[in-house]
Structure 1
Amino acid sequence: MLDHTRLKKYEQLIALTQDQLNLVNDSRWSIESFDLFQASWEEIQQELSIPDQLIKEQREAEAALCQELQSLHRHLILMLQLEQKHIGNEAAHVKQNQTVVQAYYGLGRVDQTAYYMDQKK
């Protein structure tokens, strides 16, 4: 006989992961949403502490759900890595723009005189 409460917990993990993936895909991801995801994940994971004896049918059903979870997590990790690269590129672009502004417009200087050091062509 299958323990449907355990299977429901795995389905909750799948739903949590799918929701997090949707947030990343829709560019609505935030560190706060990820913290909530992680807390919910850990709570359900603790409830799923594996008993020593599970019938074969139960293990097979759980294995199928675990494979789906693994696939979703791989996709989520890839999406978060892309988001991380995007944020890094934006930060580098901001730094580059600050350098240009400082070089050509002299903001932050006391004398407020801009110096142009371009090569003569």
Structure 2
Amino acid sequence: MIIYITIILAFVLLQLIKEIYPRIHTIVYTIYIFLFLTYILTVFIIPLVSQYINVLPTNLLPVFKLLTFSVVLLFLSQIIEDLLLDYEYTSLASLFTFTTKAILLIVWLNHMQQFYDKFISILGLLS
């Protein structure tokens, strides 16, 4: 509930700034987005993830951490992409999204390297 109140108050404040000082509206808007994302990450996501880390078995822990990292990074990428599109930086937004997807692909491929090695050795034994 406090998140909704914060969003409503920020919206009112941003509208006030837009009417009084339209030139600094985009700067304040960008700063607010990053501060709000930091607040959400530190207050909700990190405690929730650490709570589930204690419950999970140790063999699933690396996959859970990678999944959590992937989801958080994709959400942040989507928010930043929308923010860049609002400011009409379409090429930078698409580059940011592509880079995020490439980073996630490299991280997952590095994690799955042991599986690929075993799979290729089993295929070598079958032929």
| TM-score of the pair, normalised by structure 2 | 0.33
Larger radius of gyration: 1
- TM-score normalised to the size of structure 1? 0.34
Q: Higher RCO, 1 or 2 (CA under 8 Å, sep at least 6)?
A: 1
Task: Give the structure with the higher percent helix.
Answer: 2
